[in-house]
């Protein structure tokens, strides 16, 4: 991760006639456009911004959730999302990066797609208009890596040069001058043969193949590592006191380097323990080593958030340090730490990501965990409760299937509807309704089973009531349905010939106060 700067339901036995009418109308409009259910593939990368999170899936698609005020989720609207949603029309993605309010994606053809906040032209277009859908960054080709800072963007080209665009008031673009914004990607001066780029809050870093690091931008906490505190640098300078760097992670005012021997060094602001060196210092203008005694084993990856840091250890566990006011360290409390401490109960980790005040982990079994601040649903947990220990993101790697139907044998014919876990829809607060609609249409005259029914979610994860909304004589069916696990609910039809019947479905979320439709998710039709 490259970060950045800071970032009513009726009861189960009744439903208002007006709401039922509204939902029935919506269902009729939506059912005609049913699409196949989506099968998710495992995630391979996580990136976190101020209040939003991105996941790159192994099939080259992207899922997004959390804050969406500037369209940073790329879903075509600005509604907050409590559950991972697939970014429409985006495929062939090989890498992702999240800034304060914007998102970047690198495609397999070495071009770059951007969306979200464009106040500082960080999307690479001249207009200040925010983009709610991904669009190509003009003039970029041959890109091999991307990195999004607070309000600026970097791209590494195949020839080892670096281009930048967006905010430049602190020289964070490294183009030899200061300016409010630059909408067109331009070359970072005086640097070549770069192996890695890393954008921080208002500064930037580049690692060379020999392990040396170059830095430019704001230096108010000595984060450029040039043995000076204060000022700005609009051209790259040599980072002092450091060599043999294998990878970089940048936060708001600090950064962490993983060295080739598996040890760590850090630089910049350290008054809340974000440097992990033990001592609290306002500024550290030269990188210092994090004590190996606090790490225990070699480090495989580092991540940096606003004022906290994460390290993936060689045994698959994780350690964290720095600010912990929202539980972003995952240690079971809110005490900040100046030395690395173990993240509670976390094992089998393959990737770490640090956001503004939240953290995420991807596991070797393709599941995901999250912890920390959750006021914007950035943890993907279908609620806004902050978490001080890692929680499983149940939908992230769920492999779903179309609705499955099974036919009963005695008395009545039971149609079992399996809800794929990726079909859950979510919306903004306050307290949205969640509805799942289904219709059954006979294709022969001998079958009287025409009708429709839907499930009413009176809490986020469960359906407590399924009931008939048509004329087929379907019975009520009570019982909690765990959407997140793709569990099954059954509806009983009177005896009938089901041959030729088609079941259609759609899932929508409705605002509890305004009855406005918030989100829509079409599902697979099934014909008996």
Query: Quick check: 309 and 270 in contact, CB under 8 A?
Result: no
Interatomic CA distance for residues 311 and 264, integer angstroms = 9
Pseudo-torsion of CA 164, 168, 170, 176, nearest 10°?
A: 60
Predicted local confidence at residue 393, as pLDDT: 84
Three-state SS for 390-432 is EEEECCCCCCCCCCCCCCCCCCCEEEEEECCHHHCCCCCCCCC
Interatomic CA distance for residues 379 and 278, integer angstroms = 29
Query: Which are the contacts of 514, defined by CB distance < 8 A and separation ≥ 6?
Result: none
φ and ψ at 460, to 5 degrees?
-60, -50
Q: Which of 431, 359, 383, 376 is nearest to 80 (CA)?
A: 376
Count of beta carbons in the 10 Å neighbourhood of residue 91: 13
> Cα separations (Å) of 207 from 244, 257, 466?
10, 10, 58
Q: Give the CA angle between residues 108, 111, 116 to the nearest 5°.
A: 110
Predicted local confidence at residue 3, as pLDDT: 33
Q: Which of 112, 122, 109 is nearest to 50 (CA)?
A: 122
List the structure tokens of 465: 């009531």
Query: Quick check: 154 and 164 in contact, CB under 8 A?
Result: yes
Handedness of CA 249, 255, 259, 263 (dihedral sign): negative
Interatomic CA distance for residues 177 and 93, integer angstroms = 33
Verify cis geometry, omega within 30 degrees of 0, for the bond prior to 193.
no
Enter the DSSP assignment of 22: H
Interatomic CA distance for residues 525 and 502, integer angstroms = 7
Query: Which are the contacts of 316, defined by CB distance < 8 A and separation ≥ 6?
Result: 347, 348, 349, 350, 364
141 sits in the region (left: phi over 0; alpha: psi -120 to 50; else beta) called beta
Query: What are the b/e assignments for 12-23, b being 16+ CB within 10 Å?
Result: eeebeeebeeeb
Enter the DSSP assignment of 73: T
Q: HSE (CB half, 13 Å, CA atoms) of 369? A: 25
Query: Quick check: 75 and 89 in contact, CB under 8 A?
Result: no
Predicted local confidence at residue 381, as pLDDT: 80
Mean pLDDT by 10 residues, the chain (528 residues): 30 32 35 35 92 95 94 93 86 97 98 98 94 97 98 98 98 98 98 98 98 98 97 98 96 98 97 97 97 96 98 98 98 98 96 97 90 94 89 64 33 40 33 43 36 40 36 35 37 43 49 50 46
β-pair partners for 256: 249, 266
Enter the DSSP assignment of 230: S
Interatomic CA distance for residues 478 and 498, integer angstroms = 23
Query: Quick check: 351 and 310 in contact, CB under 8 A?
Result: no
Enter the DSSP assignment of 17: H
Interatomic CA distance for residues 298 and 84, integer angstroms = 32
Query: Structural domain boundaries of the chain?
Result: 413-527
As to burial, measured by CB atoms within 10 angstroms (0-12 exposed, 13-18 middle, 19+ buried), residue 412 is: middle
């Amino acid at each position: 991760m490259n970060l950045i700067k800071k970032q009513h339901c009726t009861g189960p036995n009744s439903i208002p006639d007006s709401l039922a009418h509204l939902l029935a109308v919506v269902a009729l409009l939506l059912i005609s456009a049913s699409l196949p259910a989506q099968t998710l593939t495992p995630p391979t990368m996580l990136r976190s911004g101020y209040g939003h999170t991105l996941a790159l899936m192994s099939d080259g698609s992207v899922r997004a959730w959390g804050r969406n005020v500037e369209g940073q989720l790329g879903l075509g609207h600005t509604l907050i999302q409590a559950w991972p949603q697939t970014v429409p029309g985006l495929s062939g993605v090989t890498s992702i990066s999240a800034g304060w309010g914007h998102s970047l994606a690198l495609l397999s053809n070495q071009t770059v797609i951007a969306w979200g906040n464009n106040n500082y032209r960080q999307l690479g277009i001249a207009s200040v208009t925010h983009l709610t859908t991904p669009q190509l960054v003009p003039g970029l080709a041959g890109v091999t890596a991307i990195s999004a800072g607070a309000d600026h963007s970097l791209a590494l080209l195949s020839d080892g040069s670096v281009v930048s665009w967006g905010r430049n008031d602190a020289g964070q673009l490294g183009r030899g001058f200061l300016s409010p914004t630059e909408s067109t990607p331009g070359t970072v001066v005086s640097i070549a043969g770069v192996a890695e780029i890393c954008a921080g809050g208002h500064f930037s870093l580049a690692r060379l193949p020999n392990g040396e690091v170059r830095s430019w931008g704001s230096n108010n906490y000595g984060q450029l590592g040039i043995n000076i505190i204060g000022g700005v640098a609009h051209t790259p300078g040599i980072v002092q006191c450091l060599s043999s760097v294998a990878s970089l992670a940048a936060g708001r005012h600090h950064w962490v380097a993983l060295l080739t021997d598996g040890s760590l060094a850090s630089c910049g602001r350290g008054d809340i323990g974000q440097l992990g060196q033990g001592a609290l210092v306002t500024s550290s203008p030269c990188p210092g080593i994090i004590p190996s005694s606090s790490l225990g084993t070699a480090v495989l990856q580092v991540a940096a958030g606003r004022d906290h840091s994460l390290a993936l250890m060689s045994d698959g566990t994780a350690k964290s340090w720095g600010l912990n006011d929202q539980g972003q360290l995952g240690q079971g409390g809110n005490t900040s730490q100046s030395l690395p401490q173990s993240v509670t109960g976390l094992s089998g980790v393959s990737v770490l990501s640090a956001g503004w005040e939240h953290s995420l982990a991807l596991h070797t079994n393709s599941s995901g965990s999250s912890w920390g601040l959750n006021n914007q649903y950035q943890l993907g947990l279908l609620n806004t409760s902050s978490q001080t220990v890692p929680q499983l993101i149940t939908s992230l790697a769920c492999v779903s299937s179309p609705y499955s139907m099974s036919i009963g044998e005695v008395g009545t014919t039971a149609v079992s509807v399996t809800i794929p876990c990726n079909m859950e829809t979510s919306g903004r607060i306050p307290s949205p309704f969640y509805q799942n609609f289904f219709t059954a249409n006979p294709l022969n005259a001998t079958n009287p089973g025409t009708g429709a029914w839907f499930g009413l979610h009176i809490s986020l994860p469960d359906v407590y009531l399924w009931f008939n909304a048509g004329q087929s004589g379907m019975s009520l069916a009570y019982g909690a349905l765990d959407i997140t696990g793709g569990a099954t609910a059954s509806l009983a039809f009177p005896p009938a010939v089901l041959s030729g019947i088609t079941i259609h479905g759609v899932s929508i979320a409705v605002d509890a106060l305004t009855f406005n439709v918030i989100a829509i998710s079409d599902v697979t039709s099934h014909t008996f």
